[in-house]
Amino acid sequence: MRRAYFKNNWVAAALVAPQLLIIFVFFYWPTAQALYWAFTLEQPWGGGNEWVGLDNFRSIVEDEHYWNSVGVSIVFALCATALSMGMALTLALAADRQLRGYRAYRVGMIWPYAVAAPAVGLAFRFIFNPSAGLMSHLNAIWPGVWDPILDGNHALAMVIVAGAWKQVAYNFIFFLAGLQSIPRSLVEATAMDGAGVLRRMIDLQLPLLAPTVFFLLVINITDSFTDSFGIVDTMTAGGPARATDLMVFKIYEDGFRGLDYSGAAAQSIILMLLVMVLTFFQFRYVERRIHYS
């Protein structure tokens, strides 16, 4: 644990004040209002509201489709994170070897991060289109094997792949930076001790990469809960039959398209609590095992 601190706590207060001020005005104040709606029946155009206490929560929790969306969100978060982090780590380890053409690979891998969401959705539609895309060739051989229009699992797989795709570039940047920050001298010393590539990965690189892994894990999981709206909106609109009805999508659909502000607010509270619990667990149990220096 850290022992060396600076003493002047007023300086600390001044340092954190700007960010706190901004998040108070632009996050906490509006959020408080939005969350207040969760306990009332709010008319969209602002004509008035009626206090209903926990009624909104009760009707959400009793709704089986809500639990469906919670389940779908968890599956999505875990799969997309595992897929994108796994792939990014593999690619970063390979790129770190700095073979010929390494720079080109590095640039190419980072490109997807710069692409805007509508383009991602369209491009993946072309790939996954069961009757006309790349996957249609599979369907020509085994008809009906790929059917995201009616088969919920296929649709979810499609959304997971699209979501992971965008994240791979982001994770790759951080993994590569983390790997490259391990001093060469250390790596060479380990190699001279007779450790092979795999051994070095397990004993040296991964442990030193742990803070980065933790950071990315938290960000990836949080983002897959909160940032995945665009992908679902352009690709599946929550269907078929709610198979890709992520919580954040459901909130937006019910609340803002459907003009049910109270229900959306209640769902938002639950979403926030869920993400908080998940993050708390990660901090408590995973961060413990990371050595920072």
Site for another protein in 233-252 (CB under 8 A): 235-237, 239-242, 248, 251-252
Q: Return the residue of 74, 127, 157, 286 that touches another protein, per CB under 8 A.
A: 127
Among 115, 138, 145, 202, binds another protein (CB under 8 A): 115
Q: What is the rounded distance in angstroms from the CA atom of residue 146 to the CA atom of residue 122? A: 18
Member of 60, 77, 79, 95 binding another protein (CB under 8 A): 95
Q: How far is the CB of 95 from another protein (least distance, A)?
A: 6
CA–CA separation, 210 and 289 (whole Å):
9
Taking CB under 8 A as the criterion, the residue among 74, 83, 105, 157 binding another protein is: 105
Triad 151, 156, 158: Cα angle to 5°: 100
Rounded Cα distance, 230 and 247, in Å:
13
What's the min distance (Å) between Cβ of 20 and another protein?
7
CA atoms within 13 A on the CB side of 29: 7
Shortest reach from residue 180's CB to another protein, in Å: 5
CB atoms within 10 A of CB 120: 19
User: Tell me, what amino acid is at 166?
Assistant: K
Taking the least distance from each CB to another protein, the nearer of 70 and 271 is 271
CB of 57 to another protein, least distance (A): 14
Binding mask 129-148 for another protein (x = CB under 8 A): xxxxx--x-----------x
Question: Among 80, 91, 100, 104, which residue's Cα sits nearest to residue 169?
Answer: 91
Min dist CB 201 to another protein, Å, is 12
Q: Is 118 in the site for another protein (CB under 8 A)?
A: yes
Q: What is the C-alpha separation between 172 and 174, in angstroms, rounded?
A: 5
Q: Which of residues 180-219 bind another protein (CB under 8 A)?
A: 180-181, 183-185, 187-188, 191, 196-197, 211-212, 214-215, 218-219
Total residue length of the chain: 293
Nearer to another protein, 119 or 138 (CB): 119
What are the angstrom distances between the C-alpha of 260 and each of 39, 59, 263, 265?
13, 13, 6, 9
